[in-house]
Amino acid sequence: MIITSEALRKALKKIWPDLEFMLLSDPEWDSPTRKELEDFISRVQKPGRVDHVWECEEYAFNLMVEQRREHSKVSSKDDYNWPLGAAWVDKYRGEDLNHVVNICLTSDKGIILADHQADAIWIPDSSGDNVYSVIM
């Protein structure tokens, strides 16, 4: 499902109306299904955590870059990146916690958050998850 960055911004603002910082690199995106996202995440090698060197933000950036790298090997000039990026949160699954996770707009389940470091993937709700910044 092809979506525009404008539609992506609207989907994010619907859940988090106060979300102001959204850096979206592409004008259009090709949304995967949740299963496609889960299958991709399961294929990405997960390096071990290293304090102050390889933590949550590196996990999130790595997943985003690996998806684009994998996709570039099989794409044509008419293909688009997935709307998969990094999201900074100050509320994580009901806990007040500053953390970086992945965020993706899927074609079948809408916005999904994924924490590759913790092997977690879920549909967020604004009362338990607060995203304040997104880069895609």
Domain ranges in the chain are 2-135
Q: Given pLDDT bands bounded at 50, 70 and 90, which one contains residue 74?
A: confident
The residue to which tokens 């994010």 are assigned: 12
Is 111 within 8 Å of 104 (Cβ atoms)? yes
Which pLDDT value is given to residue 55?
A: 87
| In the predicted structure, residue 52 carries a pLDDT above the cut 80 | no
More confident residue, 96 or 54: 96
Which pLDDT value is given to residue 92?
A: 95
In CATH, the architecture of 2-135 is 2-Layer Sandwich (3.30)
Contacts of 99 (CB under 8 A, 6+ apart): 56, 88, 89, 92, 115
**Encoding tokens for residue 30?**
């090709």
| In the predicted structure, residue 19 carries a pLDDT above the cut 90 | yes
Q: Given pLDDT bands bounded at 50, 70 and 90, which one contains residue 71?
A: confident
**Encoding tokens for residue 102?**
């992945």
Which pLDDT value is given to residue 47?
A: 80
More confident residue, 76 or 130: 130
Burial 7-23 (b: 16+ CB within 10 A, else e): ebeeebeebbeebeebe
Sort 119 into a burial class: Cβ within 10 Å, 0-12 / 13-18 / 19+.
exposed
